[in-house]
Amino acid sequence: MGVVRDGVTAISGTHTQPKLSWRLLVTYRYGPLALALMLIIVFVGTGLLLPAVQHLASLMVVVPATTAALAGPRLTAAVAALSCLASFALDARDNLLNTIDPAVHVVAILLVSGFVIASRSLRERSVAELAEVRAVSETIQRVLLRPLPSRIGSLRIRSAYHASQPHALIGGDVYAAVRTLDGVRILIGDVKGKGLPAVEDAEALLGAFRGTARKICSLPELVAELENSVRNHFEETALVDHDAMERFITALILEIPDGSDNVRMINCGHPPPYLNRREGISLVSPARPSPPLGLNSLRAEDYSVDTFPLLFEGTLLLYTDGAIEARNADGQFYDLGAHVASWPGSKPEDLLQHVIDGLVAHVGGKGIDDDIAMVALQYDHACIGTSLSR
């Protein structure tokens, strides 16, 4: 599962000292050289103990080959030179200096060493190029899906994300939060589909939300503008992708005014949020849900706003359908509501971690094969007085 984000700080794991292992011993600092010297000593020592008619010099080719898997070209070349000397010493002990065998052994060591050094150099170059490409990709993805601030307005907010594509930081699920003059607006959305088309659609929605959330007067007007932007994006994309007009985006848009315990919500085909309060949890279903973005109306008056109290002790959990459609090996769906209800803590980051732990345990070795985004928010008690005094 992805990390739970506290602003930009990962909290899903803890930093621990690496455990001592054989792999660490042979790869850390002088480990490769120590292993190479040990192999040379073992081969030479065994050769000296065996009768002269049994020759082990040919085994020296193993030493630089092993070293190349653990160390760089310079150390491998040095080990190859030591292996040649050890091979020559064994051949001298076996009375082979007057034969072609010593030359064959040295040439074999040098050829194998040259091959493994060249292979290691090419591999390191490829790894460096891949690391550079991934760094650029991660930078672009982090710009697209910016980490949410730990506090915005009078709210404490935390987020968690899991992308279905390997090595990806973002998929088709998105979230964003914007500070307005008198409150906070929050978006969570889920693009139909996966892969690059889903990322492009997600970028279009995020760009539209960030560009208009501060300017639009009312929540219905904001959603109508998002519908217009998403529809224009699909029409432009359809010029090169004929399936674009069949795509859509489910979205949940919230508005939380400063100094108020009421939340305004427009649900465009998105899973309803869970509200956890002292008296229990509830699913905040819309009275009249709207269709997903891309299939919706361009008129603000067609959108119905639901209002519900968050209260100063409540915690609201927003999520995408990947969190409720995850199945275990028996095909059973993850019961998100039950895990939210069993949460014993009080902090939003603890709620996300509690849900994530339950989700990982539910799917087991099967793994999570869908994008998942979650946002947990609650009032920041330290800011409530400030907000009410405005």
Could you give the residue range(s) of every CATH 3.60.40.10 domain in the chain?
148-388
**What is the rounded distance in angstroms from the CA atom of residue 346 to the CA atom of residue 100?**
79
- Rounded Cα gap, residues 243 and 197, in angstroms: 10
What pLDDT, on a 0 to 100 scale, did the predictor assign at position 286? 93
Q: How far apart are CA 278 and CA 305, in angstroms?
A: 25
Backbone angles phi, psi at 147, to 5 degrees: -60, 140
How many Cα atoms are found within 13 Å in the side-chain-facing hemisphere of 303? 29
Convert the pLDDT of each residue in 305-317 to its tens digit. Answer: 999 998 777 899 9
The mean predicted confidence, pLDDT, of the chain is: 83
pTM of the model: 0.69
**Domain 148-388: CATH superfamily, name plus number:** PPM-type phosphatase domain (3.60.40.10)
Residue carrying structure tokens 């100094």: 259
Per-residue model confidence (pLDDT) at position 273: 95
Q: Distances from the Cα of 188 to the Cαs of 219, 267, 270, 328, 330, in angstroms?
A: 15, 10, 9, 25, 30
DSSP output for 177-219: EEE-SSEEEEEEEEESS-HHHHHHHHHHHHHHHHHHTTT-SSH
Residue pair 144/206 in contact by the 8 Å Cβ criterion:
yes
Alpha carbon of 191 to those of 210, 320, 330, 348: distances in Å? 17, 10, 27, 25
CA distance 166 to 164: 6
190 contacts 37 by C-beta, under 8 angstroms: no
CB of 220 within 8 A of CB of 266? yes
- Running DSSP on this structure, what letter comes out for residue 60? G
Looking at residue 249, what is its pLDDT? 94
In the chain, which residues have pLDDT < 50?
Answer: 2-18, 20, 22, 385-390
What are the pLDDT digits (tens) for 94-110? Answer: 888 889 988 999 999 99
Neighbours of 197 (CB within 10 A): 17
